[in-house]
Amino acid sequence: MWLLRLQFLLWLAMATYLSLMAVEGTIAEALWDKPLHLFGWGGLYISLQLAFRLQGPVLIAAVALLAYSLVVEILQASVGRTFSLLDVLANGCGIALACISLAALNWFLKKKA
């Protein structure tokens, strides 16, 4: 259990670091920025689910993670980057996609059993 929580904390630290490091203006950012937000924050939500084995209020966890992504996005101004509402939207879409995917997987596994 502690290893799963450690992987979540490491994933969260990595997402925070990557979000706050100065890399604006690169070609990679222009081409891959929104998919990175989508898959990164979606993966972070799955990591959160694995770490804490959330059963009940998964919406609270999703909203809390989205709120954290908003705070990180706001903090980007302190490192010379700019706030982007589209980044927050991509983060939210990734989290929502992960929620839906995990719910579908759970439904399928329960139906199959």
Q: Per the structure, how many domains does the chain have? A: 1
Domain ranges, residue 79? 2-112
Q: For residues 59 and 51, what is the distance between their CA atoms, to the nearest angstrom?
A: 16
User: In Å, what is the CA distance from 112 to each residue of 49, 54, 105?
Assistant: 22, 21, 10
Three-class DSSP category at 58: helix
Q: pLDDT in tens for each of the 113 residues of the chain? A: 889 999 999 999 999 998 898 765 665 566 678 999 999 999 999 999 989 887 666 889 999 999 999 999 999 988 888 899 999 999 999 999 999 999 898 889 888 87
pTM of the model: 0.88
Q: What is the CA radius of gyration of the chain?
A: 15
